[in-house]
Amino acid sequence: MAGDSKMARSMALLLWAQTLGLAGAQTTQLLVEPPWRPAVLWDRVTLTCQGLGTAGATTWYKDGQRWWQKGPDHFTVTESGTYQCDRPSSVLSSPMRILNERLVLQLEARMLMEGDRVTLRCRGWQDGTVTGVRFYHKEKDLGGPIKGTELSLSPLQLHHSGRYRCGGWVKSGPSLWWEKSAAVTVTVTVHVPVANATITPGPLSHQVRAGDNVTLRCLVQVGSDPVTFTWLHNGQEVARGPILELGDIDVGHSGTYQCVATNQLGQDGQRMFQALSPELALEVTRRSPWVTVAVNAGRTLLFLVLLLAVIGGCHWWHHWGSPFTTSRQVTNMVLSGPQE
């Protein structure tokens, strides 16, 4: 354990912004709304696929099989199953289960940090009545009187990691049925301070114009595989993978960006260590409309000048004829004198 902690503390991140193209594939992220996992069908769940490439080129998978090719980046689920997604320039997302069972145990769909508070809720089908609820951790009954259908773990500690289930009496018509939910896994991430975390090139702020393309990269100088990268925008998770590409940005992309690198150590699969990069402040400015107006006005004025010149030339030609002929006529008139 001491060796793992020493290695985790030596992890350092590099985060930088640059106007370059994509290099390498990014992990696609599958977001769920409402943000609970596993999701339940009766909540009208919306799945959103976030990753590189065109949103309309998203491929969806259901129960391990290709289900919808060149689909939209989000849709409302109408069938239970396990869903994943990807795009041509990114790799397959993690799976998301959608259940339609009589009893379901749900966990908040977010990263769980040591010291946080997390709620597990036991729900009956279509939010029907559930009584006599029991919670199980690693198949062991947690015991004690359970009030309601929720279990709160606070503050989260490493020993809270593992598989949980709930059981209870579910009302189905006039009858009561004892049901036990499918298992959900709680993984507690231990925060370890990071030494020598740097960002290059400095300073830690960048100003770009609306419409630009910005690529953010996250690197771990020292660490152990596998490393999971998570991107935060103003403290909210927005994507996963070592590269975050912001194409055709607007003022809504302004704010602070931070990369979180997490690696899992040990054979038990429950010790996870995290490293945070410094925050990158990104300011997006609108392109000035006055520049466009000035350029367009200059072009219009030049066009009018040329148009007037053409009109004047045509008028001269029509009234006096050829300038060469008129010159000869004038010369002859001078030499011959006045005509009788």
Residue 16 pLDDT > 60:
no
What is the per-residue pLDDT across 80-92, written as a single tens digit (0 to 9) for each?
999 999 888 778 8
- 3-class SS string, 222-286: CCCCCEEEEEEECCEEEEECCEEEECCCCHHHCEEEEEEEEEEECCCCCEEEEEECCCEEEEEEC
Rounded CA Rg of the chain: 34
Tell me the pTM: 0.55
| Average pLDDT, rounded, for the chain | 75
pLDDT at 323 over 50: no
Q: Residue 227: is it exposed, middle or buried by C-beta count within 10 angstroms (0-12/13-18/19+)? A: middle
Helix (H) or strand (E) holding 133: strand 130-137
Tens-digit pLDDT profile for residues 138-161: 999 998 767 789 999 989 988 899
